[in-house]
Structure 1
Amino acid sequence: MAHRIASEALVERLIDWGVDTVFGLPGDGINGVMEALRRHRERIRFVLVRHEESAAFMATGYAKATGKLGVCLATSGPGAIHLLNGLYDAKLDHVPVLAITGTQETSVLGTGYQQEVPVEHLFADVSCYNLVINNPVQLPGIVDIAVRTALSRRGVAHLTLPNDIQVADANADPWRHVTPARPPVTAPVYAPAPGLPRASDLRKAADVLNAGRRVAILAGVGARGARDEILAVADTLGAPVIKTLPGKAVIPDDSPFAVGGIGLLGTRPGEELIDDCDTLFMVGCNFPYTQHLPQPGAVRTVQLEAEPARAGVRMPVEAPVIGDAKEGLAALLPLLHPKKDRRHLEKYQEAMDKWRKRMEALENPRRNPVAPQHVIGAIDDLASDDAILTCDSGTVATWAARHWTIRRDRDFFISGNLATMAPGLPYAIAMQHAFPGRQVIAYVGDGGFAMLMADFVTAVHAKLPITVVVNNNNSLGQILWEQMVLGYPEHGVRYQEPFTDFSAWARACGGHGLKVGRGKDVTKAIKHALGHDGPSLVDIDVDQDEPPMPGKVEYGQARKFAEAFAKGQPRRTTIATTLAKDRIEQLTHK
C-alpha cells in the first residue's frame, strides 16, 4: 500500500468539510495533489476544465448557487495566474472559494526556476487567507483555518503547496518544530456568526419606517433566502420593492410589489420610485451606482446589512441594522405598523403594468434582424419554473434584467460587482453539477462566449444537459452604446462579417448546435435545444443596432447620443430605424 502523502491530508480534510467537487486543470506543479485526488476519487469529484479561468468561475458559480464552499485547483505560475479573474469575481460578490495552487520545490524557490511566480504575493489582494504550506504537518489544521475564513468572511482563501511538500510523508516534520496546528478529533465544525440584530437597532429602524409615508425597499443579493420576509415587510409598509441585478431572484418579478431594478439596466418605475420615495429601506444591498440613489438628505434611510463595514457606504444611513436579512426582517416585522393607505403602492403597480406591456411589445417574433428581446422572451416562455439562468456581462444583462421573469423557484446568476465577461458558460457547468435535476441555461453574448468556449467540450464529456443561447450581435455591444452615450462615435467594437457560427463549434465538440437567423425560427430552436438530452447550443444572429436604452432616459444621455450621431456615428441610419421600430411597437401593442 502506498504511503500516505501530505496532499492526502489536504484532500481528506476537504472531504471532512463536505467538499464533493474540485474544478481544475493539472500541471507539473500540482501533480502531488492530483495523486491525492486520484486516491480518493470515490469520495471527491475532480472536474477537468479547459482553462483555469473557467475553473475559478465554476468554483465561484458553485458557491453562489449552493451557498457552500467552491474549490478550484491550478498548477504553478501561469496556471495560478489564470485563476485570478474568476477569483476576483468571488471576492467582489462575497462568496466562499478555496483556491489551491502548486509551486516549485522548496530547494529552488528564489532561484528564478522555470514558472516560478511568488503566488502568495500574487494572491495577496484577492484573498482573505493566503499561505504557503512549508511543512506537511501543517495540514490538515491549516485547511480548517482556510475553510473557516473563506466561509466566515465570504471570500477567497488560498493555499499553495510546493511540489516536494505535496508528496512528502503526511506525518513528516523534519525540523521538529513546536506542535503544529491540529484539527479536532471530531469532524470539523463551522459556527456562523449570530444573525439576529440588536433589539435597540431594530426599534430605531421600525420608528423610521413607521414614520415614512412613501417607503421603498431596495433589496440586494444579501436578501437571498428571505423572500417571504421581504414580501411580508413590503405588504405591511405598502412598499414597492426594487431589486439589484444580482438580487433579481430575491422576490418574483410577477409579485405585486416588484418594480424591477434601477440604473442603466433598470425599469422606468424603479427609477421614478427612487425620486419619489421619502424613506428607503436597503436590505442586503451594496448597490455601487450612487448616481441612481437618492441625493444625501433627500430621504430617511434604514439599512439591514450583514457586514458592519458596508453599512452607510453608499447612502447616509439614519438607522443601520447589522444582521442576517432573514432573521433581521422576521424580528423587525412585529414592530412595524401596517399602512392602510395603499395609494403609493398602487401607483407603482399601475406603472409596472404599463412597463411590462412595453417590454412585451419589444419581443416581436416578426422582426428581422432578430430582436434580442424576442430571444430572451422565448427563453422566458419555454423555461421551467425552477430553471437557473446564468448570464454574461454586456447587452445580454440588460435583456435578461427586463425579460427573464423570476417566478416560483427560478434563479439568476451574473458577475455582479466585477461585471466580467465569460462566466455564463462556466457558471452553467458548475450549477448543472450542483443541481443535476434542474434546467440550467447559459444566456451569453458572442464576445463573452468566445473567451472560454473551449469548456463547452467539458459539458459534452460530462453529458451535462445545459443549454447555451448565444445572443450574437457580432460586436461588443455594451461598449458600443457606452461610447455613444459619452458623445463619441463608436470605434473598434464590431467584429468583421460574417457572423461567427458558434453552432458549428458545438457540433464539432459532439454537442447539439443550431444556427438561427430569422425571428420566426427562434422559439422552435430554443424549444428543441431545451428538450435535447445533453449539451445544446443555439447561436442566434440578432439585430446589431438594437440599443439597450435606460429605463428612464435623462436629458444629458439623449444629448450625448445626438452628439455621437452628429460626429459621424457609423450605421446611424439603421440605429435610428431600430429605435423608431421599438417606439412604434410599444405604441401599437395591445
Structure 2
Amino acid sequence: MPRILAESLIERLAEWGVDTVFGLPGDGINGIMEGLRRHRDKVRFVLVHHEEAAAFMATGYAKATGRIGVCLATSGPDGLHLMNGLYDAKLDHVPVLAITGMQETSVLGTGYQQEVHLERLFADLTEYNELVTNPVQLPALVDAAVRHAYARRGVAHLTLPNDLQVADADADPWQHVAPARPPHTAPVYLPPPGRPREEDLRRAAAVLNAAERPALLVGAGALHAKQEVLAVAETLSAPVIKTLPGKAVIPDDSPYTTGGLGLLGTRPSEELVDDVDVLFMVGTNFPYTQHLPPAGATRVVQLEADPVRAGARMPTEVPMIGDAKEGLRALLPLLDRKRDTRHLAKYQAKMAAWRADMHALETADRDPVAPQYLASVLDRLCADDAILTCDSGTVATWAARHWTVRDGREFYLSGNLASMAPGLPYAIAMQHAFPGRQVIAYIGDGGFAMLMAEFLTAAQHRLPIKVVVNNNNSLGQILWEQMVLGYPEHGVRYAEPWSDFSGWARSCRGYGAKISKAADVESAVAEALAFDGPALVDVDVNPDEPPLPGKVSYEQAKKFAQAFLKGQPRRASIATTLFKDRIQQMGE
C-alpha cells in the first residue's frame, strides 16, 4: 500500500505529541480521514456533530492541557463553521492547529463547487496560514505551524487540496529551476527563556518594596504559578484580585484573594483598585480598563509573557517580559517581607462580609429556584478536583461568585471572545484529556441550545460528562445589559413553554432530569454526578434575578431606574426579587 501524503501529516502530528483530532469528515478531506484510519493507533479521531464544536473542543483541550489542540474540517462551508471556535483560541492566546480541505489543484480558480479559499479567509485569525502545494513540503509546514501556534500562543492553519492528500508522500513532481532542496526540519519547539532581565527584576522589586497598599491582579497566564503567586502575596501582605479566566490561579477561599474584578467581580475587588498605591499585574492583559485604576493614580508593575501586551492597558512603570512562574520565583528573593498587615486585614474583613452576602443568596427557600442556590449545590457536591466549564451569560456571574476553586479544581470559559456555546464542547474535550476526573458543563439554556447535539457526541464516545443547565428561558445577560443602558428589555425572552432538555438527554441514553422546585435540586444533581455516563440536569431558575455588579455605580442605578420608568415588562417581579435578595443579605 503506497504511503500517501495524509499519512505524512498524521505521522508528523504524532511526533509533535498530538493524540486527538476533533472534527467532521467530508469529501474534501477523505484523504486525511484515510491517513487517520491508517494511523488510528497513534492519533484518535473524535467525530463531532458541528465543526464549531470541533474548534471549541480543540481550544478547550489546549486550555486545559497546555498542549496544542487540533481540529479538522472539510472544504467550503464546513471550514467556515470553525471560525468562531478558532477566534476563541486566538483571543484567549492558546495554541490550536486547524486543518481543512481544499478543492483539487486542477480546478482552483475556476469557481468550482465549494471553492472557498480558507487560507485567505483565515488570515485575520491565524499566526501561521498556508496552502500546501507540494507533498515534500508538508512535514516542514506542519513543524512551522505547530511552532508558530506555541510561540505566538494562537491559531495555525493548514489547508490541503484533495489531490495532494492522496499523492505519494515523497513526491516532488516539479523541476527545480533553482538549486533548491525540499526542506528537512525537526518537530521540536523550544520555549523562550522565562526569567525576566535582571535589571527589570530589581526595578520591579524596588517599586513593590516601596508599596504601602499593594495588590496583585493575576490572570490565566499565571494558572501554573499558584505557589509563587501565594508566596509573593504573603511576602508583600498583598490582596490578590483574579480575572475570571484566572479564577483558578489561587483558591477562592484563600485569605489573600478578594475574588474577581469587573461586572462579574466582587465589591472588595472594586474598592481595592481605588485604594492601591502599587498594582502588580501577573499573567493578564485585563481588557476592561474602566475597572482599573485611572492613569497615573497608582504605580504599575507587570509580568507578561508577550512583549506586545506589556503596558497595553495602562501606564506601566516596570514592564517585565517572562513566564509567570519563573519570573515570580526570580523576584521573590528580592522582595522585603512586610510586617504591617493592616492593608491586607482590611480587605480580608471586606471579603468575609462579601462571602456572607453571597451565602445569604444561596437559599433553598425560594421558588422559582434562585440561580445562586443551584450554583451553590453544584459547588458543594462536586469533587475537589472537578473541572467546571462555563458559558457566557448570567451563568458566568453565578459561577464566578458561587463556584469555589479549591485544591485541584479548575475553571474554564470563553474569556476575551465571551462566546456562547463553548461550555459543552470544552467539557467533552477535557473529559477526553482527563478521563479519570469529574468534568461539568455549567451552561445557560441559550448556549446549550446552540450546540446541544454534542451531548449525543458525549454519549456516543461514552464520556461521563455532567451538564447542568441554568434555564431562565431567556438571553439573560443581554436582558440586564439592555436595562443597564436604560432600555426596557426587548427580544430577549423565549416564548412559552419553557425548554425541557432532559428528554433530549434521555433520548441519547444519558441521565436527564427536569427540575422546577428548589427542594428537588440537590437530589437531582447528586444522581447526575453518580450516573455512570453523560448526565444532564435542566433547572428552571428565577428569570428575574439580576446579575448585579459587585459595586453598582450611580450611572448604572440611574439607567436601571430609567428602564423601569420607560415600561420594563416585568418590573414588579424584578423589584420583588431584588427586595428578597436584600432582606436575605440583611438577615445573614
Q: Deviations over 1:51-109 (max 9, x none)?
A: 00000000000000000010000000001000000000000000000000001000000
Partner of 1:312: 311
Separation in structure 1 between the aligned mates of residue 443 and residue 182 of structure 2, nearest angstrom: 48
Separation in structure 2 between the aligned mates of residue 523 and residue 276 of structure 1, nearest angstrom: 40
SS in 2 for 1:578: helix
SS in 1 for 2:71: strand
C-alpha RMSD of matched pairs (Å) = 0.6
Q: Deviations over 1:488-533 (max 9, x none)?
A: 0000000001110000111111111000000111111101100000
Deviation at 1:181, TM superposition (A): 1.8
Partner of 1:181: 183
Q: Deviations over 1:320-348 (max 9, x none)?
A: 11100000001101111111100000001
Partner of 1:563: 562
Separation in structure 2 between the aligned mates of residue 176 and residue 213 of structure 1, nearest angstrom: 71
Residues 90 and 97 in structure 1, CA contact (< 8 A), matched pair in contact too: yes
Residues 387 and 439 in structure 1, CA contact (< 8 A), matched pair in contact too: yes
Separation in structure 1 between the aligned mates of residue 140 and residue 293 of structure 2, nearest angstrom: 48
Partner of 1:431: 430
Separation in structure 1 between the aligned mates of residue 234 and residue 12 of structure 2, nearest angstrom: 46
SS in 2 for 1:308: coil
Q: Deviations over 1:291-324 (max 9, x none)?
A: 0000000000000000011011111000111100
SS in 2 for 1:438: coil
Separation in structure 2 between the aligned mates of residue 168 and residue 443 of structure 1, nearest angstrom: 45
Q: Write out aligned runs for 1:82-481 (5 A).
A: 82-177=81-176, 178-184=180-186, 188-481=187-480
Q: Write out aligned runs for 1:491-530 (5 A).
A: 491-530=490-529
Deviation at 1:202, TM superposition (A): 0.4
Deviation at 1:142, TM superposition (A): 1.1
Residues 440 and 466 in structure 2, CA contact (< 8 A), matched pair in contact too: yes
SS in 2 for 1:561: helix
Runs of 4+ in 1 over 3 A off after TM superposition: none
Q: Deviations over 1:124-173 (max 9, x none)?
A: 01100000000111121111111111111111000000000001111111
Separation in structure 1 between the aligned mates of residue 184 and residue 45 of structure 2, nearest angstrom: 26
The reply on whether 1:66 has 2:65 as its aligned counterpart is yes
SS in 2 for 1:140: helix
Deviation at 1:480, TM superposition (A): 0.1
Residues 142 and 181 in structure 1, CA contact (< 8 A), matched pair in contact too: no
Deviation at 1:388, TM superposition (A): 0.2
Q: Deviations over 1:181-232 (max 9, x none)?
A: 2234xxx221101100000000000010111100010001011111100000
Residues 101 and 159 in structure 2, CA contact (< 8 A), matched pair in contact too: yes
Separation in structure 2 between the aligned mates of residue 50 and residue 29 of structure 1, nearest angstrom: 17
Query: Given residue 300 of structure 2, which amino acid in structure 1 is its aligned partner?
Result: T
Residues 388 and 438 in structure 1, CA contact (< 8 A), matched pair in contact too: yes
Deviation at 1:176, TM superposition (A): 3.1
SS in 2 for 1:396: helix
Separation in structure 2 between the aligned mates of residue 468 and residue 254 of structure 1, nearest angstrom: 25
Q: Deviations over 1:351-372 (max 9, x none)?
A: 1111111101101011100000
Partner of 1:28: 27
TM-score (norm 2): 0.99
SS in 2 for 1:294: coil
Residues 105 and 163 in structure 2, CA contact (< 8 A), matched pair in contact too: yes
SS in 1 for 2:408: coil
Separation in structure 2 between the aligned mates of residue 195 and residue 331 of structure 1, nearest angstrom: 10
SS in 1 for 2:388: strand
Query: Given residue 238 of structure 1, which amino acid in structure 2 is its aligned partner?
Result: S
Q: Deviations over 1:410-433 (max 9, x none)?
A: 000000000000000000000000
Separation in structure 2 between the aligned mates of residue 535 and residue 586 of structure 1, nearest angstrom: 36
Query: Given residue 579 of structure 1, which amino acid in structure 2 is its aligned partner?
Result: L
Query: Given residue 507 of structure 1, which amino acid in structure 2 is its aligned partner?
Result: R
Query: Given residue 180 of structure 1, which amino acid in structure 2 is its aligned partner?
Result: P
Separation in structure 2 between the aligned mates of residue 588 and residue 162 of structure 1, nearest angstrom: 67
Separation in structure 2 between the aligned mates of residue 261 and residue 108 of structure 1, nearest angstrom: 54
Query: Given residue 583 of structure 2, which amino acid in structure 1 is its aligned partner?
Result: I
Residues 72 and 100 in structure 2, CA contact (< 8 A), matched pair in contact too: yes
SS in 2 for 1:29: helix
Residues 143 and 188 in structure 2, CA contact (< 8 A), matched pair in contact too: no
Separation in structure 2 between the aligned mates of residue 75 and residue 244 of structure 1, nearest angstrom: 36
Residue correspondences, number: 585
Query: Given residue 106 of structure 1, which amino acid in structure 2 is its aligned partner?
Result: T
Deviation at 1:113, TM superposition (A): 0.5
Separation in structure 1 between the aligned mates of residue 41 and residue 203 of structure 2, nearest angstrom: 53
Deviation at 1:476, TM superposition (A): 0.2
SS in 1 for 2:260: coil
SS in 2 for 1:89: helix
Query: Given residue 181 of structure 2, which amino acid in structure 1 is its aligned partner?
Result: T
Q: Deviations over 1:545-581 (max 9, x none)?
A: 0000000111000000000000000110000000000
Residues 261 and 291 in structure 2, CA contact (< 8 A), matched pair in contact too: yes
SS in 2 for 1:79: helix
Query: Given residue 415 of structure 2, which amino acid in structure 1 is its aligned partner?
Result: G
Q: Deviations over 1:457-496 (max 9, x none)?
A: 0000111110000000000000000000000000000000
Separation in structure 1 between the aligned mates of residue 152 and residue 131 of structure 2, nearest angstrom: 20
Query: Given residue 557 of structure 1, which amino acid in structure 2 is its aligned partner?
Result: Q
Separation in structure 1 between the aligned mates of residue 175 and residue 424 of structure 2, nearest angstrom: 48
Separation in structure 1 between the aligned mates of residue 286 and residue 196 of structure 2, nearest angstrom: 21
SS in 2 for 1:500: coil
The 10-residue stretch of structure 1 (10-19 or 168-177) with the greater mean CA deviation from structure 2: 168-177
Separation in structure 2 between the aligned mates of residue 345 and residue 525 of structure 1, nearest angstrom: 40
Separation in structure 2 between the aligned mates of residue 45 and residue 540 of structure 1, nearest angstrom: 35
Separation in structure 2 between the aligned mates of residue 478 and residue 584 of structure 1, nearest angstrom: 24
Extract unaligned runs of 5+ from structure 1: none
Separation in structure 2 between the aligned mates of residue 344 and residue 563 of structure 1, nearest angstrom: 38
Q: Write out aligned runs for 1:573-588 (5 A).
A: 573-588=572-587
Query: Given residue 463 of structure 1, which amino acid in structure 2 is its aligned partner?
Result: R
TM-score (norm 1): 0.99
SS in 1 for 2:170: coil
Separation in structure 1 between the aligned mates of residue 525 and residue 232 of structure 2, nearest angstrom: 38
Separation in structure 1 between the aligned mates of residue 522 and residue 273 of structure 2, nearest angstrom: 36
Identity of aligned residues (%): 72
Separation in structure 2 between the aligned mates of residue 463 and residue 419 of structure 1, nearest angstrom: 29
Separation in structure 1 between the aligned mates of residue 342 and residue 181 of structure 2, nearest angstrom: 68
SS in 1 for 2:514: strand
Query: Given residue 418 of structure 2, which amino acid in structure 1 is its aligned partner?
Result: A
Separation in structure 2 between the aligned mates of residue 14 and residue 236 of structure 1, nearest angstrom: 44
